[in-house]
Chains A and B, each alone.
Chain A
Amino acid sequence: MEAKAPSFFQSSVDRRFFLRSAVATIALPSLEAFADEKKQPESGTARNFVAIGAYLGWHQKAFYPAATGRGYEMPRTLKPIEAYRDQFTIFSGLDHRAPNGHGAWINFLSGKAPGTYSLDQQIADQVGGKSRFASIELATGVGEGAKTMSFTKQGVGLPTIMRPSVFYKQLFVSKEDRERAEYLIKSGKSSLDSVLGDAKRFQSTLPKRDREKLDEYFDSFRAVEKRMDRQLATLDEPVPETGYQLPSYDPITPNLQMEAGSIMYDLMVLALESGSTHVLSLFLDGLGQVFAIDGETLKAGYHALSHHGNDPEMIEDLVAIERAHIDCFAGFLRQLSEKKDPTGKTLLDDTVILLGTGMGDASRHSNANLPTLVAGGGFNHGQHLAIDAKKPDAPLLGDLYLTLMERMGIEQESFSNASRNLNQLFS
């Protein structure tokens, strides 16, 4: 569906959103999207948030549709999720105006200052208290060191879980682990008297003013004891049977990234479904691993391919890897859309999914124009929204984040360098 941009489009949209009108053939966003412009976006209607980030980015030309608006032809990388085209929105032209280079990749969820309070953690700090884990950070294909895209308010990078078996164990504590936990609590409680007795003796050697300080210790100690009692009570609850079969090994080496990815997505569905957490992040690393895709060994390692220098054959192989990532992601969307709560709402509608990157173009190490996709969360999806970043006051990726946060029920004035939102364009 292609149409010349009519004057209505120019005047009403330029007013605020600076869609890329310079494109010669531009698809018109559906009229419905603009009809209810004044409608307040629904706030707090999604309970879960998932962020997925690719270290080597997403090759723009294969990620962005040629046309904007609805009815675009599905770009090569996103072919595996064609069936869910009404469940996601593609954004082009957004970024954080952050510095360039691999080192600054972590701008993805942090905004303009890489390595600061990340979107997932901001959300987790608001909604995480409602579940067993405030958030869980995952990664696949990590070839070296401890990389992460999640940062606490204090700017501490959160380590990621790379082993599916560890993730599974966190979610579904085994009988052995329960027994161990029970033993630790009970043995600890049994010897409390001697320890607290010694602590009291210590307290009695101190001057009065210090003794009051020690009361702080005893008060806290009692609170911990109560917590232990509560833990003991929950340990008796039955262990859910998931029937999920993990492989005999953990696919943690980079070449097994796709295998790790599809398992992680399966477990992420279980984590959300069981309400173990409401916030997940999945980091897709990239190093020298050479993939064989559809029986074909690719020309070079992932990282080497990302430095394609516009060589069409290198790009072809790079896109094959990115499509394989999206293929794994398709399994995630499928499962989320099949699971429904008693009211008939799908888990996908209950989950805001942000898939993106901190790197706009890995071949040049440019961190501008970050390919971004939002799925689920009950948004009015199905479009490619192209932002012209050259316009003064063009919206930032952080503005989209504010809209996503609002969907999670978090009303916040600003995110990093962004202080508006995209509600008018995307709701």
Chain B
Amino acid sequence: MSGLNPVYGGVLAAAVLFGLPVSLRAELESVPEPVQDILFESCFECHDGDSEKGGINLDQVEIPWGDPGAVAQWYKVFKVIDHGHMPPPDKPQLSEEKKKELLAFLDAELREHTSIGGTLPRRLNRLEYQNTIRTTFRMDEFELPIGFPKDNREHGFDTVSEALVLSPPLLAAYHEVAGQIADELFPPARTLPGPTLRRAGVEDLVLSFSAATVHGDALRLACSSTDSIMRSSTWPSKIEVTTSGMYRVTIDASTFRPRDDSSLTLEVRARDVAASDRSSTKVHRLLKEFEVTSESPETFSLEAELYEGQTLLFRWADAELTHDPKVFAPLLKKRFEEDPRFLAAWQEMLFPKRKGRAPVPSLRGRNGWEIYQRHLNDPNLDLSDATMDSRYTKEILKLAQDPGAVRNLGDSLTYEYHEFGPALELHGVTIEGPFSAVDGPKDIRRTSIREYSFGKRLETDTDEAYARRGISGFLTRLFRRPVDSETIAAFLQVAKDHWEAGHSFDEGMHLVLRQALVSPRFLLRETSPGKLDQHDLASRIAYFLTRYPPTSQIVHFARAGKLSDPEVLRSEIERLIPTSPSAPMIKDFAGQWLHTRLLPEIMPDASFDFTVEEVELARIEAERFFAKMIEENRPMTDWIAPDFMLTSRRFAEENYGYPPKGGKLAGASVTYRSDHMKIERLQIDPKGIHGGLLGQSATMMATANGVDTQPVLRGVWVLENILGMPTPPVPQNVPALTPDVQGTTTPRELLAAHTKSADCASCHRHIDPIGFALENFDPVGRWRENWPETGVPIDSTGVLPDGTKIAGYLDFKQWLVSNISLVSECLAEKLMIYATGRIPSYAEQVEIKGIVDRIEAEKGGFRDLLVALIESETFQTR
């Protein structure tokens, strides 16, 4: 599991990277004798200068507290002793008193020698970079190229400064993207090609589904459905306009057996060739409507703007046939009433020999039509049921109410119209042009993006005046802080030099843009050292809560220097705090903290009968839950034991045994995906099995592998992500223990090996009991009593790190509720790492713990905690 980071290694690595020169390693302080005695008695067997087990030597008379490496090492010592990982279980244990004394000494020293702050200037990660481009240029659909380098993760998050390195491939990618963005705003000049005439005969018009068929030299249309063009329309797919401009279009059209000599409306629209054939008629721009009245071909012509990438789209707009059941059902009824042979042939088609109903999908299109036609032409066609009160008639008319059936049957009926009319006929199309250039949607969008980024050009503006004003405003937003005149001058000079070398105004701006987008002022965020200045504070808050750069109000307050006003700050935090499950911060943070990012990769084994939709529902549940915790400022204990869950009723029934036995299942009658996916707030017993972080599919799936459960992985995961007691990395040269549930050997028996070796036991005595407490959850989070295959009842008893004996998951859940501050501290630390991009120092941990304790004392909820963290010194210091 990639997310389970070796935390201790990380702290050391961080310390090394801090790279303070030796000269600063002053502050040598001697270790008091009582402490030396404790270390001597309990630690030196393995961690003196000779053994240095794990590279740890505690045999130091003096500690150089100025050395970050020393701080990191002693912080680690503090943690392993506090969490009870050391001394190992087979060695003499520390008495409570001695443990207290040792920890008190370390606590005092670490408080004194660690400080708040220390994040290196941090580059925007992929998500932040993408969102910053979107915001700065108002390019809402901007996506990074697929090959754009991925970010590394540190301590479980991709926002940590140490991991966000700048590399040559990354810089190259920045250059590449900068060019693409510059092209959007200042595209290279193009020339208008001369007009050409293109023709599309009947054979060049698209036949899609049953929308059209060809009869001799005519293509017939008979259906007016608007829901998707592929069911009603045709288009010349070999013609694609490459230059936006004015074009002349001609269409040869005629009527075919119109009813009552009425005119038929031919609708001409412009479609993007690349648009989906499933798109609705309405999204394509209407060019003109013609009334076609003659049964012999007539030429209709129009002049219209066609844009880059477009062709024409034709539909008979007032055809009586559509795929809408509200229209189709009465139409069919009318046809039945008018013609008993029509009715009898439909009955034969749908109820062949009256031996049950033919499968409707197989009647789709011409197949159904041919079956129908065969019966219609049969002189012995049985008319005995051809009455409106026949049960077959009624069944067909009932079927005609069902959208799915009508999609198929409408496709068959359209052939009847093509054959017998009425239908609209097309004989050929020409498109000639471009006669003049026009601004297509892309050009208009470009202009709007350009004016948003650089402002409007005034008539009185010289090139330089416009550029100076534009660059100054633009850089301020791009760099997310005021830009001094020297920097503006430097970028303006780039444009001026380029103009001087004979290039156009646009080319000069193109170059400025490319260069600004690779400037460290853009790529790095929060660069003011020490306490964040107003702009950097706005930036840190905005990127944390929204994952977007600061905009509008918070920028306004920062510029006015008001963000340090506690009331203003509080109101801005409240304004930006995410409460929607689709908020980028919630998806991103929860995805990394709870590993729900991994879900799409874990396709549960077929034996679990878990669908792709259910995997999606599991992720949705986790995100909804997280959002609800903020939105309703839920108490922290709700993370573990809430009285509600947020998922679809069907999902809860199938996976969580909801409602309790004896209740009524909704499942059987629910057919549509929309119902499967409808999320509800379901009331549950807070002391029950399901609900909360651990009682939901998402986390239990993410901590298994889709096939079987791995108690060790779950145990490690809970220790790291829920309890904040990460376990050190697995020692080298230890073979992985894969639970083999074959035969009578239970995972438990296998894992017992861990507790026999002292090397393993120091951690596994903490890991395994938690893993086993969760063994009742299968790899998709459903409850089970027995291990699969062997059917051996699951033994989920164990002893927790603090000595509490548990009989299973429900006891563990209760224990978590009673020790909720552990969970709160863990989550608070994760949020802080994610927001500040650094691993909290000891002093920062102390502040975080203080905040958690205060919120708990004030009976505050998760939202209160989140706000308090942002208001902390740790958050507000670089």
| Contact among A97, A113, A145 with B601 in the assembled complex (CB-CB below 8 Å) | A113
Which of B485-493, B552-560, B787-795 contacts its partner? Answer: B485-493
* Residues from 243 to 295 in A contacting B, C-beta threshold 8 Å: 247-256, 287-290, 292
Which of A182-190, A332-340, A390-398 contacts its partner? Answer: A182-190
CB-CB nearest in chain B for A255: B206
- Let me know if B519 and A301 touch, CB within 8 A: no
- Let me know if A307 and B362 touch, CB within 8 A: yes
- Let me know if B18 and A155 touch, CB within 8 A: no
- Let me know if A199 and B520 touch, CB within 8 A: yes
B638 to chain A, nearest CB (A): 32
- Let me know if B411 and A206 touch, CB within 8 A: no
B524 to chain A, nearest CB (A): 8
| Contact among A145, A253, A290 with B273 in the assembled complex (CB-CB below 8 Å) | A253
- Let me know if A314 and B121 touch, CB within 8 A: no
- Let me know if B166 and A220 touch, CB within 8 A: yes
- Let me know if A304 and B364 touch, CB within 8 A: yes
* Measured CA separation A145–B276 after assembly (Å): 7
* Measured CA separation A247–B238 after assembly (Å): 9
* Measured CA separation A299–B166 after assembly (Å): 58
Is A223 interfacial (CB 8 A cutoff)?
A: yes
- Residues of chain A contacted by B188 (CB below 8 angstroms): 180
- Residues of chain A contacted by B490 (CB below 8 angstroms): 194-195, 197-198
- Let me know if A290 and B208 touch, CB within 8 A: yes
CB-CB nearest in chain A for B172: A224
Is B135 interfacial (CB 8 A cutoff)?
A: no
CB-CB nearest in chain A for B20: A209
Is B168 interfacial (CB 8 A cutoff)?
A: yes
- Let me know if B179 and A184 touch, CB within 8 A: yes
- Let me know if A116 and B601 touch, CB within 8 A: yes
Is A311 interfacial (CB 8 A cutoff)?
A: yes
- Residues of chain A contacted by B365 (CB below 8 angstroms): 299-301, 304
* Measured CA separation A82–B208 after assembly (Å): 31
| Contact among A162, A292, A300 with B366 in the assembled complex (CB-CB below 8 Å) | A300
Given A158-B146, A188-B175, decide whether A202 and B521 contact each other with a Cβ distance below 8 A.
Answer: yes
- Residues of chain B contacted by A129 (CB below 8 angstroms): none
Is B15 interfacial (CB 8 A cutoff)?
A: no
B278 to chain A, nearest CB (A): 5
* Measured CA separation A228–B703 after assembly (Å): 45
Q: Would you give the 0/1 interface string for B595-613, flagging 1 where the beta carbon is closer than 8 Å to chain A?
A: 0000011110010000110
- Residues of chain A contacted by B677 (CB below 8 angstroms): none
| Contact among A101, A112, A152, A250 with B146 in the assembled complex (CB-CB below 8 Å) | A152
- Let me know if B208 and A313 touch, CB within 8 A: no
- Let me know if B171 and A224 touch, CB within 8 A: yes
Given A115-B600, A213-B120, decide whether A198 and B519 contact each other with a Cβ distance below 8 A.
Answer: yes
Is A227 interfacial (CB 8 A cutoff)?
A: yes
- Let me know if B612 and A104 touch, CB within 8 A: yes
* Measured CA separation A17–B854 after assembly (Å): 67
Is B213 interfacial (CB 8 A cutoff)?
A: yes
- Residues of chain B contacted by A402 (CB below 8 angstroms): none
* Measured CA separation A166–B476 after assembly (Å): 37
CB-CB nearest in chain A for B609: A99
Q: Would you give the 0/1 interface string for B511-549, flagging 1 where the beta carbon is closer than 8 Å to chain A?
A: 100110011110100010100000000000000000000
Is A191 interfacial (CB 8 A cutoff)?
A: yes
- Let me know if A220 and B276 touch, CB within 8 A: no
- Let me know if B208 and A300 touch, CB within 8 A: no
- Let me know if A97 and B606 touch, CB within 8 A: yes
Given A116-B601, A292-B207, decide whether A297 and B519 contact each other with a Cβ distance below 8 A.
Answer: no
CB-CB nearest in chain A for B179: A184
- Let me know if B511 and A187 touch, CB within 8 A: yes
- Residues of chain A contacted by B362 (CB below 8 angstroms): 307-309, 311, 314
Given A207-B529, A223-B168, A224-B168, decide whether A288 and B277 contact each other with a Cβ distance below 8 A.
Answer: yes
* Measured CA separation A153–B503 after assembly (Å): 43
- Residues of chain B contacted by A290 (CB below 8 angstroms): 207-210
- Residues of chain B contacted by A298 (CB below 8 angstroms): 366
CB-CB nearest in chain A for B123: A217
Is A156 interfacial (CB 8 A cutoff)?
A: yes
Q: Would you give the 0/1 interface string for B242-279, flagging 1 where the beta carbon is closer than 8 Å to chain A?
A: 00000000000000000000000000000001101110
A185 to chain B, nearest CB (A): 9
* Measured CA separation A207–B706 after assembly (Å): 49
- Let me know if B230 and A287 touch, CB within 8 A: yes
- Residues of chain B contacted by A38 (CB below 8 angstroms): none
Number of interface residues of A (CB under 8 A): 78
CB-CB nearest in chain A for B364: A304
Q: Which residue among B175, B235, B521 has the maximum number of chain A CB atoms within 10 Å of its CB?
A: B175
Given A198-B487, A300-B367, decide whether A144 and B277 contact each other with a Cβ distance below 8 A.
Answer: yes
- Residues of chain B contacted by A210 (CB below 8 angstroms): 120-121, 527, 529
Q: Would you give the 0/1 interface string for B147-181, flagging 1 where the beta carbon is closer than 8 Å to chain A?
A: 00010000000000000011110111001000100
- Residues of chain B contacted by A188 (CB below 8 angstroms): 175, 511, 514-515
CB-CB nearest in chain B for A116: B601
CB-CB nearest in chain A for B493: A194
- Let me know if A304 and B209 touch, CB within 8 A: yes
Is A203 interfacial (CB 8 A cutoff)?
A: yes
Is B239 interfacial (CB 8 A cutoff)?
A: yes
| Contact among A227, A251, A297 with B168 in the assembled complex (CB-CB below 8 Å) | A227
- Residues of chain B contacted by A156 (CB below 8 angstroms): 146
Is B27 interfacial (CB 8 A cutoff)?
A: no
- Residues of chain A contacted by B203 (CB below 8 angstroms): 292
Is B240 interfacial (CB 8 A cutoff)?
A: yes
- Residues of chain B contacted by A101 (CB below 8 angstroms): 611-612
Is B498 interfacial (CB 8 A cutoff)?
A: yes
- Residues of chain B contacted by A75 (CB below 8 angstroms): none
- Let me know if B240 and A213 touch, CB within 8 A: no
- Residues of chain B contacted by A292 (CB below 8 angstroms): 203, 207
* Measured CA separation A416–B514 after assembly (Å): 42
* Measured CA separation A191–B150 after assembly (Å): 29
* Measured CA separation A308–B498 after assembly (Å): 64
* Measured CA separation A215–B507 after assembly (Å): 30
- Residues of chain A contacted by B367 (CB below 8 angstroms): 299-300, 311, 313-314
- Let me know if A206 and B527 touch, CB within 8 A: yes
- Let me know if A300 and B210 touch, CB within 8 A: yes
- Let me know if B494 and A194 touch, CB within 8 A: yes
- Let me know if A209 and B18 touch, CB within 8 A: yes
- Let me know if A112 and B603 touch, CB within 8 A: yes
- Residues of chain A contacted by B213 (CB below 8 angstroms): 297
* Measured CA separation A210–B487 after assembly (Å): 20
| Contact among B18, B206, B364 with A307 in the assembled complex (CB-CB below 8 Å) | B364
- Let me know if A195 and B208 touch, CB within 8 A: no
B361 to chain A, nearest CB (A): 5
* Residues from 643 to 686 in B contacting A, C-beta threshold 8 Å: none
Residues of B within 8 A of A (CB): 18-19, 120-121, 146, 150, 165-168, 170-172, 175, 179, 188, 198, 203, 206-210, 213-214, 230-231, 235, 237-240, 273-274, 276-278, 359, 361-362, 364-367, 370, 411, 486-487, 490-491, 493-494, 497-498, 501, 503, 507, 511, 514-515, 518-521, 523, 527, 529, 600-603, 606, 611-612, 706
Name 22 A/B residue pairs within 8 A (Cβ), A-sorted.
A99-B606, A104-B612, A113-B602, A115-B600, A144-B278, A156-B146, A158-B146, A187-B498, A187-B507, A188-B511, A190-B498, A194-B490, A194-B493, A194-B497, A223-B171, A224-B171, A253-B237, A290-B209, A292-B203, A292-B207, A297-B214, A300-B365
List 12 additional A-B contacts (Cβ < 8 Å) besides A158-B146, A217-B166: A113-B601, A143-B278, A162-B274, A184-B179, A191-B498, A198-B490, A199-B520, A209-B120, A221-B171, A250-B240, A253-B237, A301-B209
Residues of A within 8 A of B (CB): 97-99, 101, 103-104, 112-116, 143-145, 152, 154-156, 158-159, 162, 180, 184, 187-188, 190-191, 194-195, 197-199, 201-203, 205-207, 209-210, 212-214, 216-217, 219-221, 223-224, 227, 247-256, 287-290, 292, 297-301, 304, 307-309, 311, 313-314
A-B CB proximity, top 5 nearest: A300-B365, A309-B362, A223-B168, A253-B237, A144-B276
